[in-house]
Amino acid sequence: MLTGIHFLLTYTCNLECDHCFVYSGPNAKGTFTLNRIREVFDEIPKIGTIEWVYFEGGEPFLFYPLMLEGIKIAHDMGIKTGVVTNAYWAISEDDAELWLRPFCELEISDLSISDDSFHYEDERDNPAKRALGVAKKLGIPVNTISIEKPTIEAGIDKEKAKGKPVIRGGAMFRGRAVEKLTEGLPKRGWEEFTECPYEDLKDPERVHIDPYGHVHVCQGLMSIGNILGISFIKDY
């Protein structure tokens, strides 16, 4: 049952991480307009099962007023909200509080902050850690997302045959990760891929919608339709 809508608010990002599902970066194009956000929200009551709305990217804080307005619309509809960010904006604790305090009034239900070697290498004092601390102080529900570079471990995995290599690190091999992170890793033939390891394609619990209206049933991998009837090609 579909319970979550994730807005890929923009493909633009201040970073260009090797593991990015959707090829986000400083030169990536495509950002929702307010009217397009409203069009999606107009469809949500027709579905009747949506409990969550997330704002992701790219980096959604690059379009902060637009993100806040989307959260407000969801809040007024009684839908729980979440945001995924790399927290580039938390250049000090005071700045982090300035950016985060509106989330308290809008009663955001989840703030997910990326904090790993892809985003901040081995920095002990970085924007993600500052944002995490301030969010906790403000009482905002918060967690961190930490993805490490893939490594190979020989052993037994409960979902793999005995003795087969296990790839660790948490990176999903979609988008830019396929180009940047697969060198030296074990390969499998296409005929072995008989199911999606990340989503239930027959009965997905969430979909991602990008600025062009494309509905991703597996983020960055597969579109099952277009909610807005907009060509994905025109800005690329």
Instruction: Tell me the pTM.
Output: 0.80
Residue 172 pLDDT class (50, 70, 90 cuts): low
Paired sense of beta strands 151-154 and 165-168, if any: antiparallel
pLDDT at 165: 47
**What are the structural domains, with CATH classification, of the chain?**
4-147+197-226 (3.20.20.70)
pLDDT at 112: 93
pLDDT tens per residue across span 85-142:
999 999 999 999 999 999 999 999 999 998 865 555 666 779 999 999 999 999 999 9
Look at residue 233 and tell me whether its pLDDT is greater than 60.
Answer: no
pLDDT tens per residue across span 173-230:
566 665 555 566 667 777 877 777 777 878 888 899 999 999 988 766 677 888 876 5
Residue 62 contacts residue 35 (beta carbons within 8 Å): no
